[in-house]
Amino acid sequence: MTTVALFGAGGKMGCRITDNLKDSAYDVRYVEVSPPGIENLRKRGLAVTPREQALREAEAVILAVPDNLIERIAGELVPSMRTGAMLVVLDAAAPFAGKLPARQDVTYVVTHPCHPSVFNVETDPDAQRDYFGGI
């Protein structure tokens, strides 16, 4: 089973991802530092995982954090990630601007969960809702 560390799990975007992952086959570590975010997780029946534990266990790390914090947070986390792990960033600007630390043994994935697919024409609102998992 793949272990995922979701940073910012109780925030606006984090809660959307949390709601989609909490009943999935993934073993999720919910990382949150803000009191409102921690409360959002508690309301979902979820506990916060300490940052160091989450990084030690995660095969994939998702940064659901404010765009203006990606550079700083990635700079703190990437050096501690496991060899072979994957970092998922939800904003294309930071990597494009060279704001992610280089590490050859970590895979970087850049995506945005609110953007429509660039590979398909999605004109049916129900299909879009299904595609984005109810977001």
pLDDT average, residue stretch 50-69: 95
Q: Where are the domains of the chain?
A: 3-131
3-state DSSP assignment of residue 125 = helix
- Pairwise CA distance, residues 125 & 110, whole Å: 24
What is the domain class of 3-131 according to CATH? alpha beta
3-state DSSP assignment of residue 53 = helix
The pLDDT, as a whole number, for residue 94 is: 87
94, 69 in Cβ contact below 8 A?
Answer: no
Q: Is the model more confident about 122 or about 37?
A: 37
pLDDT average, residue stretch 57-72: 95
3-state DSSP assignment of residue 115 = coil
Tens of pLDDT, residue by residue over 74-124, are 999 999 999 999 999 998 888 888 999 999 999 999 987 665 555 555 566
Q: Which residue has the tokens 């704001």?
A: 99
State yes or no: pLDDT of 134 exceeds 50. no
Tens of pLDDT, residue by residue over 1-23, are 799 999 999 999 999 999 999 99
Query: Environment class of residue 128 by beta-carbon count within 10 Å: exposed (0-12), middle (13-18) or buried (19+)?
Result: middle
